[in-house]
Protein backbone atom coordinates (compact mmCIF):
# COMPACT_ATOMS: atom_id res chain seq x y z
CA UNK A 1 0.00 0.00 0.00
CA UNK A 2 1.39 3.40 -0.98
CA UNK A 3 1.83 6.30 1.41
CA UNK A 4 -1.01 8.18 -0.21
CA UNK A 5 -3.34 5.20 0.16
CA UNK A 6 -2.51 4.80 3.86
CA UNK A 7 -3.06 8.52 4.50
CA UNK A 8 -6.38 8.40 2.67
CA UNK A 9 -7.47 5.38 4.66
CA UNK A 10 -6.45 7.04 7.95
CA UNK A 11 -8.39 10.19 7.14
CA UNK A 12 -11.41 8.05 6.34
CA UNK A 13 -11.21 6.32 9.71
CA UNK A 14 -10.89 9.66 11.47
CA UNK A 15 -13.97 10.82 9.68
CA UNK A 16 -15.87 7.74 10.84
CA UNK A 17 -14.74 8.30 14.45
CA UNK A 18 -15.76 11.92 14.38
CA UNK A 19 -19.35 11.21 13.30
CA UNK A 20 -21.93 11.19 16.09
CA UNK A 21 -24.80 8.78 16.29
CA UNK A 22 -28.17 10.42 15.82
CA UNK A 23 -30.05 10.66 19.11
CA UNK A 24 -33.61 9.35 18.94
CA UNK A 25 -36.22 12.05 19.48
CA UNK A 26 -38.31 11.36 22.60
CA UNK A 27 -41.91 10.51 22.04
CA UNK A 28 -44.41 13.13 23.17
CA UNK A 29 -45.63 12.21 26.65
CA UNK A 30 -49.34 11.68 26.90
CA UNK A 31 -51.28 12.70 30.05
CA UNK A 32 -52.03 9.91 32.51
CA UNK A 33 -55.54 8.54 32.52
CA UNK A 34 -57.74 8.49 35.61
CA UNK A 35 -57.21 4.74 36.00
CA UNK A 36 -53.40 5.12 35.84
CA UNK A 37 -53.51 7.89 38.46
CA UNK A 38 -55.72 5.73 40.68
CA UNK A 39 -53.42 2.72 40.33
CA UNK A 40 -50.38 4.89 41.15
CA UNK A 41 -52.19 6.30 44.20
CA UNK A 42 -53.10 2.82 45.45
CA UNK A 43 -49.45 1.70 45.20
CA UNK A 44 -48.41 4.32 47.78
CA UNK A 45 -47.93 3.73 51.50
CA UNK A 46 -51.21 3.68 53.51
CA UNK A 47 -50.03 6.56 55.72
CA UNK A 48 -49.12 8.64 52.67
CA UNK A 49 -52.53 7.92 51.12
CA UNK A 50 -54.19 8.96 54.37
CA UNK A 51 -52.22 12.21 54.45
CA UNK A 52 -53.17 13.01 50.84
CA UNK A 53 -56.87 12.29 51.50
CA UNK A 54 -56.75 14.40 54.66
CA UNK A 55 -55.26 17.35 52.75
CA UNK A 56 -57.89 17.02 50.03
CA UNK A 57 -60.71 17.06 52.57
CA UNK A 58 -59.11 20.00 54.39
CA UNK A 59 -58.87 21.92 51.11
CA UNK A 60 -62.55 21.21 50.42
CA UNK A 61 -63.50 22.52 53.87
CA UNK A 62 -61.27 25.58 53.39
CA UNK A 63 -59.35 25.18 56.64
CA UNK A 64 -57.04 28.05 57.58
CA UNK A 65 -53.52 27.07 58.69
CA UNK A 66 -50.73 28.73 60.62
CA UNK A 67 -47.60 26.68 60.09
CA UNK A 68 -48.89 23.09 60.12
CA UNK A 69 -51.79 23.62 62.57
CA UNK A 70 -55.42 24.33 61.68
CA UNK A 71 -56.51 27.56 63.38
CA UNK A 72 -60.04 27.75 62.02
CA UNK A 73 -62.61 26.51 59.51
CA UNK A 74 -64.85 28.91 57.58
CA UNK A 75 -68.53 28.87 58.51
CA UNK A 76 -71.63 30.99 57.77
CA UNK A 77 -70.80 33.08 60.83
CA UNK A 78 -67.08 33.55 60.11
CA UNK A 79 -65.35 33.74 56.74
CA UNK A 80 -61.87 32.54 55.83
CA UNK A 81 -60.80 36.16 55.31
CA UNK A 82 -61.78 37.05 58.88
CA UNK A 83 -59.91 34.00 60.26
CA UNK A 84 -56.76 34.96 58.30
CA UNK A 85 -56.98 38.55 59.53
CA UNK A 86 -57.28 37.37 63.13
CA UNK A 87 -54.52 34.72 62.82
CA UNK A 88 -51.97 37.06 61.24
CA UNK A 89 -50.08 37.41 57.96
CA UNK A 90 -48.58 33.90 58.16
CA UNK A 91 -51.98 32.17 57.96
CA UNK A 92 -52.96 30.51 54.69
CA UNK A 93 -55.31 28.05 52.98
CA UNK A 94 -54.28 25.02 50.95
CA UNK A 95 -56.13 26.48 47.94
CA UNK A 96 -54.29 29.84 48.00
CA UNK A 97 -52.72 30.75 44.60
CA UNK A 98 -49.39 31.63 46.28
CA UNK A 99 -49.06 28.04 47.52
CA UNK A 100 -49.39 26.53 44.06
CA UNK A 101 -46.31 25.64 42.06
CA UNK A 102 -43.00 23.96 42.94
CA UNK A 103 -42.17 23.34 46.58
CA UNK A 104 -39.58 25.51 48.31
CA UNK A 105 -36.08 24.05 48.38
CA UNK A 106 -35.22 25.49 51.80
CA UNK A 107 -34.68 28.75 53.59
CA UNK A 108 -37.20 31.32 54.64
CA UNK A 109 -40.14 32.13 52.36
CA UNK A 110 -39.51 35.16 50.18
CA UNK A 111 -35.74 35.25 50.80
CA UNK A 112 -32.83 33.77 48.92
CA UNK A 113 -30.67 31.11 50.50
CA UNK A 114 -28.36 32.79 53.00
CA UNK A 115 -24.59 32.58 52.79
CA UNK A 116 -24.05 31.69 56.45
CA UNK A 117 -23.08 28.06 56.99
CA UNK A 118 -22.21 28.32 60.71
CA UNK A 119 -24.11 29.71 63.72
CA UNK A 120 -23.07 33.35 63.99
CA UNK A 121 -22.93 35.41 67.16
CA UNK A 122 -25.52 38.11 67.75
CA UNK A 123 -27.91 36.86 65.05
CA UNK A 124 -30.98 36.04 67.10
CA UNK A 125 -31.71 32.72 68.80
CA UNK A 126 -29.15 30.12 69.81
CA UNK A 127 -27.67 28.34 66.79
CA UNK A 128 -29.65 30.44 64.28
CA UNK A 129 -27.68 31.80 61.34
CA UNK A 130 -28.53 35.17 59.84
CA UNK A 131 -30.19 35.09 56.40
CA UNK A 132 -28.08 37.28 54.10
CA UNK A 133 -29.26 38.65 50.78
CA UNK A 134 -27.32 38.87 47.53
CA UNK A 135 -23.57 38.96 46.85
CA UNK A 136 -22.91 41.65 49.46
CA UNK A 137 -24.65 39.56 52.10
CA UNK A 138 -22.62 36.50 51.16
CA UNK A 139 -19.37 38.48 51.51
CA UNK A 140 -20.53 39.81 54.87
CA UNK A 141 -21.31 36.29 56.11
CA UNK A 142 -17.89 35.06 54.99
CA UNK A 143 -16.20 37.94 56.83
CA UNK A 144 -18.11 37.12 60.01
CA UNK A 145 -17.29 33.44 59.75
CA UNK A 146 -13.58 34.21 59.36
CA UNK A 147 -13.68 35.91 62.78
CA UNK A 148 -15.06 32.78 64.45
CA UNK A 149 -11.91 30.69 64.85
CA UNK A 150 -12.46 27.79 67.25
CA UNK A 151 -9.84 25.46 68.68
CA UNK A 152 -6.82 27.72 68.13
CA UNK A 153 -3.87 27.42 70.58
CA UNK A 154 -4.49 30.93 71.94
CA UNK A 155 -8.14 30.16 72.69
CA UNK A 156 -7.22 26.84 74.34
CA UNK A 157 -4.58 28.54 76.49
CA UNK A 158 -7.04 31.26 77.49
CA UNK A 159 -9.67 28.64 78.39
CA UNK A 160 -7.15 26.71 80.53
CA UNK A 161 -6.10 29.90 82.37
CA UNK A 162 -9.72 30.86 82.96
CA UNK A 163 -10.54 27.39 84.28
CA UNK A 164 -7.54 27.46 86.63
CA UNK A 165 -8.51 30.92 87.89
CA UNK A 166 -12.06 29.79 88.64
CA UNK A 167 -10.74 26.73 90.52
CA UNK A 168 -8.40 28.86 92.64
CA UNK A 169 -11.16 31.34 93.38
CA UNK A 170 -13.53 28.57 94.51
CA UNK A 171 -10.85 27.12 96.82
CA UNK A 172 -10.13 30.59 98.25
CA UNK A 173 -13.84 31.32 98.86
CA UNK A 174 -14.30 27.92 100.55
CA UNK A 175 -11.30 28.54 102.82
CA UNK A 176 -12.58 32.00 103.84
CA UNK A 177 -16.03 30.59 104.60
CA UNK A 178 -14.53 27.74 106.60
CA UNK A 179 -12.36 30.12 108.66
CA UNK A 180 -15.35 32.38 109.38
CA UNK A 181 -17.44 29.42 110.56
CA UNK A 182 -14.54 28.25 112.73
CA UNK A 183 -14.24 31.68 114.37
CA UNK A 184 -17.98 31.75 115.15
CA UNK A 185 -17.86 28.24 116.60
CA UNK A 186 -14.82 29.08 118.79
CA UNK A 187 -16.45 32.26 120.07
CA UNK A 188 -19.64 30.36 120.96
CA UNK A 189 -17.68 27.65 122.77
CA UNK A 190 -15.68 30.21 124.76
CA UNK A 191 -18.86 31.96 125.83
CA UNK A 192 -20.57 28.71 126.79
CA UNK A 193 -17.54 27.75 128.95
CA UNK A 194 -17.89 30.94 131.05
CA UNK A 195 -20.27 30.24 134.03
CA UNK A 196 -21.54 33.81 134.29
CA UNK A 197 -22.36 33.87 130.60
CA UNK A 198 -24.08 30.48 130.85
CA UNK A 199 -26.21 31.71 133.75
CA UNK A 200 -27.20 34.94 132.02
CA UNK A 201 -28.10 33.01 128.86
CA UNK A 202 -30.19 30.55 130.85
CA UNK A 203 -32.01 33.38 132.64
CA UNK A 204 -32.80 35.06 129.35
CA UNK A 205 -34.09 31.82 127.82
CA UNK A 206 -36.03 30.52 130.88
CA UNK A 207 -37.07 33.58 132.94
CA UNK A 208 -40.08 31.92 134.62
CA UNK A 209 -38.08 28.94 135.89
CA UNK A 210 -35.44 31.25 137.39
CA UNK A 211 -38.08 33.43 138.99
CA UNK A 212 -39.78 30.39 140.52
CA UNK A 213 -36.46 29.04 141.79
CA UNK A 214 -35.54 32.42 143.33
CA UNK A 215 -38.93 32.62 145.09
CA UNK A 216 -38.41 29.15 146.64
CA UNK A 217 -34.94 30.08 147.89
CA UNK A 218 -36.30 33.32 149.41
CA UNK A 219 -38.97 31.38 151.33
CA UNK A 220 -36.36 29.02 152.71
CA UNK A 221 -34.11 31.96 153.63
CA UNK A 222 -31.17 30.70 151.67
CA UNK A 223 -30.83 33.87 149.65
Q: Which range of residues forms the domain containing residue 128?
A: 110-148
Does 66 share its domain with 84?
A: yes
67 lies in a domain?
Answer: yes
pLDDT band at 85; cut points 50, 70, 90: confident
Do 172 and 142 lie in a common domain? Answer: no
| CA separation for the pair 104, 124 (Å, rounded) | 23
Average pLDDT on 19-34 reads 76
pLDDT of amino acid 111: 46
Residue 8 has pLDDT above 60, yes or no: no
Q: How far apart are CA 180 and CA 184, in angstroms?
A: 6
Overall number of domains in the chain: 3
Confidence of residue 217 (pLDDT cuts 50, 70, 90): confident
pLDDT per residue as tens digits for the range 72-84 = 899 888 888 888 8
Q: 71 and 91 in contact (C-beta within 8 Å)? A: yes
Angstrom distance (rounded) from CA 73 to CA 79: 8
Which residue, 165, 167, 169, is CA-closest to 177? 169
Query: Is position 43 within any domain?
Result: yes
- List, for residues 148-157, the tens digit of each pLDDT value: 555 567 777 8
What number of other Cβ atoms are within 10 A of residue 144's Cβ? 19
Domain boundary among the residues 148, 176, 207 is at 148
Amino acid sequence: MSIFGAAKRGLGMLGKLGKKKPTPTPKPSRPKTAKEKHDEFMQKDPYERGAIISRRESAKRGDVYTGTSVVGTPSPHRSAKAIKKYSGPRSYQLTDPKRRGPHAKGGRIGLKTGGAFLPLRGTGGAGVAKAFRGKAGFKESQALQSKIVKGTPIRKEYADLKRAHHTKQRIKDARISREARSKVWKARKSLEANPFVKRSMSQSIHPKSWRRQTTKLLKKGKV
